[in-house]
Amino acid sequence: MAFCAELCSYLCIAVTYICCFSDSGLQVGSAHKESVRLVGGASRCAGTLEVKKGNWRPVQYFDWTLKEAAVVCRELDCGSALSLGQKEEYRTRSAWAITTECMDSGSSLKNCVTSSSSYKLQVITCSDSVRLVDGTSLCSGRLEVKSTQSTQWSSVCEEDFDQQDAEVVCRELGCGAPSVLQGALYGEVEAPMWTKEFQCGGNESALLDCRSSGSERNTCSPGKAVGLTCSEPVRLVGGASRCAGTLEVKHHGDWRALFTGSLSLKKVDDVCRELDCGFVVSLEKGTGSIERTTLWLRPSCNYSGSTLRMCVNPYSGSSFLNITCSDSVRLVDGTSLCSGRLEVKSTQSTQWSSVCEEDFDQQDAEVVCRELGCGAPSVLQGALFGEVEAPMWTKEFQCGGNESALLDCRSSGSERNTCSPGKAVGLTCSEPVRLVGGASRCAGTLEVKHHGDWREIYGADWTLKEAPLVCRELDCGSAVSTNLREESLERPVWWLSSHCLHSGSALRDCLLSDSFTYIVELNCSDSVRLVDGTSLCSGRLEVKSTQSTQWSSVCEEDFDQQDAEVVCRELGCGAPSVLQGALFGEVEAPMWTKEFQCGGNESALLDCRSSGSERNTCSPGKAVGLTCSEPYRLVGGASRCAGTLEVKLGVWRPVDYSSWTKKEASLVCRALDCGSAVYFPGDHLLRPLGGRGPEDTESLRIMSLLREEDTA
């Protein structure tokens, strides 16, 4: 929070649309109401958003979604967020700017405003009589109702509410059909309770339009307050089955396609589950002949599972997402898209069934992994991903190994009625990721296999933080350098979502389909790495020989300053600054068994001579911890503390400063052991980053590394 506040203090001087975070939390339905209102709509819960801070001003139209609209509705003590849009005026007028970052931080609207001017104003519509609270999405929660004569929200007793009533509520809130209707799903509730029974026909547009009983209810049994889950309004259209086609989301009553580049494979898999389809098999970019209104999913929006609708807003584009889900096979409860407990569903069934380990072998696993677009099976074992109750698949699979789908395989004639506990098939397929065209398997162009084809990765949005995650997934060492290769023609590639990757997801889970010309080239060390450090140039030293499959720590007694110089050079870092055991945690065996005897000029640690004798033990706390200086320098100035900033990523390259503030300049000075930043050209150029070329990316990389070092 201190870092954000300091950064904002610089940015807010020159950039009006960036807000400063506040420590005050959102008080829902409290005294904040007198500073927020909706005007010009059909009710007090609809219209142009205005905020009072000294005087009333409208709020500038911004990149909001229903997630932000829901915050406004809560502050106004209205119901659920139904829609948001914009109102265009004839001329620019004074307005407030409110960013999504400040809204999502939990601050009240009044504390998020910054002065601005605009002719596009924010319009919001909330329901004024119905809402779902304490749910997992906009379309789930405990039902609450408020009449026009009342000032309080009341829960509804389960005995006074049925399926037809639920259909009306889901329609009124812009959601899909009701999927779950049950009391106490979203917590117990105290009085007040709604006193009459609803008697909807099912076609009404609002719950309060329905008839109600003449008699009143005074009590409701504990745990009987209505909990309702409506399905998310998503569908796939134009494909070979209901589990394939163009992804569309219902928005303001209209079905709209989702713009390409919005969803990673991991999030598409959530959509497949929402549709009760299987596993995401493919994700492709579709292109129309003309631009149309589509929906853009904000990547930074923190949604999970079935809350896709919460994070979309209108966007004009000619490309969209085409998705294929498997309709008969999926892996559940795993750590990535390519791992989990195997479940199967036949075309005649409506339920998913686990498979007994005794009815499934390596050849069957090869078919499943291929069907799901993953690599070869690496682990096949029961109970890896939790115990499971019935139902169980009743027949044994007898695949040859070359089939394209599991249900294309032959099966046994006899049926299985029972399966021993802990014997439901757990399967892990390898991740189809590789580096090609380099000097070793740990260097080259980054590619991921999709539907039998290897695709390159678009990487203009990369920072230094992504590269080591990829190296680790390939079981290579530390990231040494990255580069962007520009192609002459656009072609289908993967765009890697950094938000997804830093959440801990596997690389393949975080891919989005698109077309670009900038391609990632990555160089990882294949025999040396630093782990558990605070930056790319610090950590516990681990080494792996060409004959070994495991990484080994090095004993401090077998490693000296000259060895450290070689490691730092090999990893593309500066000279060693700290060499000490146990700096980065204790470590168990294995340990490297020989002493390194480097001259200091070798290009790689394994090029150094080593002792003939072997070490069998190493004292506790003596595993080598190493910190190399960061590869920055200032050149061409009057001293080493002045000049053009360059960073080394394989080669020395100057850094674009167009998105920098004095904050970053000060961090550079500190990293170079110089004093405070006295001057840098960005003092008068506080502006957003303009392009997506290699120079802009270099600026993002160095900023990312500096900020990471500062927070550490």
C-alpha closest to that of 485 among 448, 453, 510, 522: 522
Residue 109's region, left for phi above 0, alpha for psi from -120 to 50, else beta, is alpha
The mean-pLDDT minimum among 60-69, 330-339, 585-594, 689-698 falls in 689-698
- DSSP class per residue in 429-444: EPP-EEEEESSSTTEE
CA distance 75 to 711: 34
What's the pLDDT tens digit per position in 206-242? 999 999 887 777 778 877 888 898 887 888 999 888 8
What's the pLDDT tens digit per position in 368-423? 998 888 888 888 877 777 666 668 888 899 999 889 899 999 988 777 777 877 78
Say which residues have a Cβ less than 8 Å from residue 15's Cβ, sequence separation at least 6: 686, 687, 688
In this model, does residue 246 exceed pLDDT 50?
yes
Tokens of 646: 């360059």
Phi–psi pair at 282, nearest 5 degrees = -145, 155
Quote the longest CA-to-CA distance of the chain.
96
The mean-pLDDT minimum among 311-315, 326-330, 333-337, 561-565 falls in 311-315
Q: Note the pLDDT of residue 11.
A: 30
CA distance 26 to 75: 8
Domains of the chain, start order: 24-126 (3.10.250.10), 130-230 (3.10.250.10), 243-325 (3.10.250.10), 329-429 (3.10.250.10), 433-524 (3.10.250.10), 528-628 (3.10.250.10), 632-711 (3.10.250.10)
H or E segment and range at residue 648: strand 643-649
Helix (H, G, I), strand (E, B) or coil at 711: helix
CA distance 403 to 328: 14
Helices (H) and strands (E) in the chain, counts: 11, 39
SS3 for 206-230 is CHHHCEECCCCCCCCCCCCEEEEEE
31: confidence class by pLDDT, cuts 50, 70, 90: very low
655: confidence class by pLDDT, cuts 50, 70, 90: confident
What's the pLDDT tens digit per position in 408-452? 999 887 777 778 777 888 899 988 888 999 888 999 999 888 767
Q: β-strand 609-610 against 244-251: which pairing, if any? A: unpaired
> Where are the alpha helices (H) located in 378-435, listed in sequence order?
none
Say which residues have a Cβ less than 8 Å from residue 639's Cβ, sequence separation at least 6: none
Tokens of 459: 């990487």
**What is the percentage of the chain residues whose pLDDT exceeds 90?**
16
C-alpha closest to that of 251 among 395, 106, 81: 81
Distance between the two ends of the chain, CA-based, in angstroms? 14
Q: Are 143 and 228 in contact (CB under 8 A)?
A: yes
CA distance 546 to 554: 16
Residue 244's region, left for phi above 0, alpha for psi from -120 to 50, else beta, is beta
What's the pLDDT tens digit per position in 283-312? 887 777 677 778 877 766 655 444 677 777
45: confidence class by pLDDT, cuts 50, 70, 90: very high
Q: Stretch 461-468: mean pLDDT, rounded? A: 73
In this model, does residue 687 exceed pLDDT 70?
no
Determine the Cα angle at 141 with ends 136 and 144, to 5°. 150
In this model, does residue 504 exceed pLDDT 80?
no
Residue 603 is which amino acid?
S
Q: Stretch 127-151: mean pLDDT, rounded? A: 86
Q: Note the pLDDT of residue 650.
A: 64
In this model, does residue 489 exceed pLDDT 70?
yes
- DSSP class per residue in 504-539: T--TGGGEEEEEEEEEEEEEE-SSEEEES-SSTTEE
Give CA separation, 550 vs 474, 477, 542, 546, 625, in Å: 13, 11, 10, 10, 19
In this model, does residue 106 exceed pLDDT 80?
no
DSSP code at position 59: B
